[in-house]
Amino acid sequence: MSNNKHNMHTSKVYKTWCSMIARCNPDNKKDAKYYSERGITVCDEWRTFANFYADMGERPEGMTIERIDNNKGYSPENCKWSTRKEQNRNMRSNRMIQFNGISMCITDWAKKLGITPQGLGARLGKHPIEIALMEKIPKAEKKSTNRRCLP
């Protein structure tokens, strides 16, 4: 789309759109293994900036575009504006742990327990998940009946 049709070529949302299109371009060798080679595409509707803008609106301050499901492409039903912190929780490299119907990354479980992610990783290496996610790990020689499991 020509810049004079929307007059937003210097806006943050237009730059976000351009970056999204470029990431998914199969000719983009730098990002190909993360996007086009994984089948991550931009939906046909969003190949036009005006359509993207109509769906997503202005980019809120401090936010970036995020794919809700990292294995799917850019489309209205799979994208939202998120903070960098939220996006970091939604990376393929994160280890997700599901327990009692709740799925969170190690960092979030650790925060809930009041320990470091490394500490939780060590616990998970030594104990079954239902013990690793306890606020306090009982000592082997002590049989505590006062164990509290999260959540």
Question: What separation in angstroms does the CA of 76 have from each of 34, 89, 110, 121?
Answer: 20, 21, 32, 35
Based on the fold, state whether residues 105 and 81 are members of the same structural domain.
no
- Distance, CA of 11 to CA of 56 (rounded, Å): 14
Based on the fold, state whether residues 80 and 101 are members of the same structural domain.
no
Residues 57-75 pLDDT 10s: 999 999 999 998 888 999 9
Q: Of 40, 48, 51, nearest to 74 (Cα)? A: 40
Task: Name the CA dihedral angle for 63, 68, 69, 71, rounded to a multiple of 10 degrees.
Answer: -30
Based on the fold, state whether residues 107 and 140 are members of the same structural domain.
yes
Q: Residues of the chain whose pLDDT is less than 70?
A: 1-5, 92-93, 138, 140-151
Q: How many domains does the chain have?
A: 2
Report pTM. Answer: 0.63
- Distance, CA of 83 to CA of 106 (rounded, Å): 19
Based on the fold, state whether residues 75 and 117 are members of the same structural domain.
no
Based on the fold, state whether residues 16 and 37 are members of the same structural domain.
yes
- The boundaries of the domain holding residue 137 are 94-151
**Of 57, 88, 119, which marks where a domain is finished?**
88
